[in-house]
Each structure stands twice: as C-alpha cells, then as structure tokens.
C-alpha cells in the first residue's frame, strides 16, 4: 500500500537549494516512514550533505517543502528538533571536549529535562530529581553502547571508535523518533562497522533512521530504501537490490555506460555494494 504524507515521519518535496548561480539540489524528494532505514548516497559533490543539512534544519531550501509528521518543521535550531523527537550525529563527532563522556550524553537528553539538560550540567536552575534521573538514563545508555567504563573520562582521551559510540549514545539517549546519521562508519575498522550495522538495524525497532554514508557495504546491509543523488538530482530510488541494478547508478559512480563490459559491470556492482 502506498503511504500517505501523514504516514511519513519526515517528507521532502521539490527541495531546491541554490547558492548564487550554483544549484546544489534540484527538485529533490524523499520520504521517511516510521521504523525505516533510508540511505542517502551519491558520488562526491552529489548534494548529500546539502540535503542532510536541509533535513536537519541547518539549511533552509530555496524552494520546496519539508514536513515533520505532516506539519512544518518545529524550528531550525538543534534544540527545537531534539524536543520534537529528531536527533543527529555529526561527521566530526561534535562532542564537548571539556565535558566528561557522561555529561556529553546528559546534554543529549535536553528534551526530557524540565529545566534543560545543559542547565542541569551547569548547576543553574538545578532540579536534583531531574539531574539524578537524567544521569541514570545517560549511564544506562552508555552501558547499552558498551562504553560505560569511560563515563568520567574526557572524550579527547579516548580512541576514535569509542568517541563514535559516545556520539551515538548522546543522539539516542532521548529516544528520538528519527535519527539522522552523518557518515557514522568513517574512521572505523571492519569489525567496528559490522557492530555498527547491527546497531543501526536495532535502532529501527524504535526509531526511523536517515543514513548518509560512503561505505556502500554498510548502506546495502542496513537500508530498507535508498535515494541516490548525482549533481543535485535524484537519479535512482528503491530497495538496495533495485538501486544496485540500476545502470544510472553505475554510470554516476564509475562514469561508464550501461553497455560497458562484464568486468566493468562487476566493478560497478562492487561499488554499489
């Protein structure tokens, strides 16, 4: 059955973004259903980051609409999105360097705190019950991500893979309805990527996920639906199998035609995977 707009958590229609004379996105559409994992892929410069910034409220489109549960987005600031049930990670981690791992994760629970999580951390407007409940929740989340032993360490003293888990814990501690993941596999080893794939599939039991990622093996393993961008336009959309078999995707990634030889097609399938 075709889903209606109200059955989608997040929907983008006709999104166009122009920077002066440059069109970064041209009439792009995307839908995210509850509990789904949607991948956003494309060659370098395809417009993935621009679309991700539009979806997360960082960038306002030149034309087109973004709706959250059938209504306009709650606001452009991170705390507006968080309180509406949208969380995101950042390609550069974006952890607070002078705050402990625990306090970083508490900061992600802002929408659950009556006075705001950051006010609890700073001691301003402190509610002792709020503080205790949020710290217990943050510790439990760190435990779930396997990094509770680092709760009282500073992020910069930890291995990169551990910092990635802390960033994920911070995004998930408030139990969002939608999680936006910006290249979560970057800098991870093969075993860590395998573990990340299991985590993302686990997320989809409780929330929808939009994944921007260059690691194609991960995308093909975890996504229900994939949108492929090239030069700011959607060139393919569908299941991993449909996208992988689409000649337009092969041409976008490798610059080959659909009539290329078997060896080239084999390489393209590898790129799509």
Q: Is the pLDDT of residue 28 over 90?
A: yes
Confidence of residue 129 (pLDDT cuts 50, 70, 90): low
Q: Which fold has domain 5-85+176-272?
A: Rossmann fold (3.40.50)
Confidence of residue 18 (pLDDT cuts 50, 70, 90): very high
Q: Please tell me the predicted confidence (pLDDT) of residue 58.
A: 85
Among 182, 243, 238, which Cα is nearest to 56's?
Answer: 182
Residue extents of the structural domains in the chain: 5-85+176-272, 96-166
Average pLDDT, the chain: 85
Confidence of residue 253 (pLDDT cuts 50, 70, 90): confident
Looking at per-residue confidence, does 259 or 21 come out higher?
A: 21
Q: Please tell me the predicted confidence (pLDDT) of residue 112.
A: 64
Q: Please tell me the predicted confidence (pLDDT) of residue 131.
A: 80
Close Cβ partners of 196 (under 8 Å, ≥ 6 residues apart): 184, 185, 188, 218
Global confidence as pTM: 0.84
**DSSP notation for 139-200:** HHHHHHTT-GGGTTS-GGGS-HHHHHHHHHHHHHTT--SEEEEESTTTT--HHHHHHHHHHH
Mean pLDDT of 14-20: 96
Rounded distance between C-alpha atoms, residue 194 and residue 125, angstroms? 42
């Amino acid at each position: 059955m075709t889903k209606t707009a109200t059955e989608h958590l997040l929907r983008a229609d006709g999104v166009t973004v122009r920077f002066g004379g440059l069109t970064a996105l041209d009439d792009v559409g995307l839908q995210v259903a509850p509990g789904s994992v949607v991948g956003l892929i494309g060659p370098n410069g395809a417009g993935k980051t621009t679309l991700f910034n539009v979806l997360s409220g960082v960038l306002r489109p030149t034309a087109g609409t973004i709706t959250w549960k059938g209504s306009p987005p709650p606001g452009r600031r991170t705390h507006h999105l968080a309180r509406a049930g949208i969380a995101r990670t950042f390609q550069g981690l974006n952890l607070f360097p002078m705050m402990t791992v625990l306090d970083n994760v508490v900061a992600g629970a802002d929408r659950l705190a009556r006075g705001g999580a950051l006010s609890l951390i700073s001691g301003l407007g402190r509610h002792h019950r709020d503080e205790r409940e949020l710290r217990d929740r943050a510790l439990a989340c760190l435990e779930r991500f396997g990094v509770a032993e680092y709760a009282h360490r500073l992020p910069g003293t930890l291995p990169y893979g551990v910092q990635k888990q802390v960033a994920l814990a911070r995004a998930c501690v408030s139990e969002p309805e939608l999680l936006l993941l910006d290249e979560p596999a970057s800098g991870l080893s093969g075993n860590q990527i395998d573990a990340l794939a299991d985590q993302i599939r686990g997320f989809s039991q409780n929330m929808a996920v939009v994944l921007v990622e260059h690691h194609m093996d991960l995308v093909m393993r975890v996504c229900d639906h994939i949108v492929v961008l090239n030069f700011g336009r959607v060139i393919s959309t569908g299941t991993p199998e449909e996208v992988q078999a689409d000649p337009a995707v092969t041409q976008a990634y490798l610059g080959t035609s659909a009539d290329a030889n078997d060896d080239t097609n084999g390489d393209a399938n590898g790129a799509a995977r």
